[in-house]
Amino acid sequence: MNENADKHLDHLSRKVMGKSAVESPSFDFTNRVMSQITSLSTSSATTYVPLISKTVWGLIIVLFVALTVFLGFVTSHRQTTHEKSSWLDRLALESISNYEFINPLAHLHLSQTTLYGIVLFAFMFSIQIPVLKHYFNKRFEV
């Protein structure tokens, strides 16, 4: 039954293909298609818009430079002739060097097995990152 149906479908497809004429596109088909493609505007969803515009970056830089210059002039004008200290001395950074930092992990003791696990995890993680980066770079290449 299937063989008879296949023969019938084959005969029908040959008959239809024989009656149809081969079509060819017009001479300037490629040029018209390409002009339509280039005339399409890109959607706003795919266009890149920076989070901070160039004018805002310029304003931030100008404000930073103005603040730096202002602080430089204010500290130099406030100094008297008897006092010849720099503005770094006024920040009192020497008090930070006397500060004792408390280590919260000083009394933490880990077993050898835990340490081996942490070292092995760090080692495997450091290998996996470049491998995954290479994989995704190859995957998204055009």
Report the alpha-carbon distance of residue 51 to residue 57 in Å, rounded: 10
87, 67, 89, 68: which is closest to 78 by C-alpha?
A: 87
pLDDT digits over 76-117, tens only? 555 544 455 566 666 666 666 666 667 778 888 889 999 999
Higher-scoring residue by pLDDT: 10, 123: 123
Q: How confident is the model at residue 127 (pLDDT cuts 50, 70, 90)?
A: very high
What is the domain range of residue 60?
Answer: 2-41+54-99+107-140
Total of domains in the chain: 1
Does residue 74 sit within a domain? yes
Higher-scoring residue by pLDDT: 119, 136: 119
Straight-line distance from the first to the last Cα atom of the chain, in angstroms, rounded to the nearest whole number: 49
3-state secondary structure 16-51: HHHHCCCCCCCCCHHHHHHHHHHHCCCCCCCCCCCC
Does residue 6 sit within a domain? yes
Q: How confident is the model at residue 8 (pLDDT cuts 50, 70, 90)?
A: confident
Report the alpha-carbon distance of residue 120 to residue 37 in Å, rounded: 53
Q: Which residue has the tokens 């293909």?
A: 17
User: Per residue in 7-18, is it b (16+ CB within 10 Å) or e — as a string?
Assistant: eeeeeeeeeeee
* For residues 41-59, average pLDDT: 81
Please tell me the pTM assigned to this model: 0.29
In this prediction, residue 81 carries a pLDDT of 44
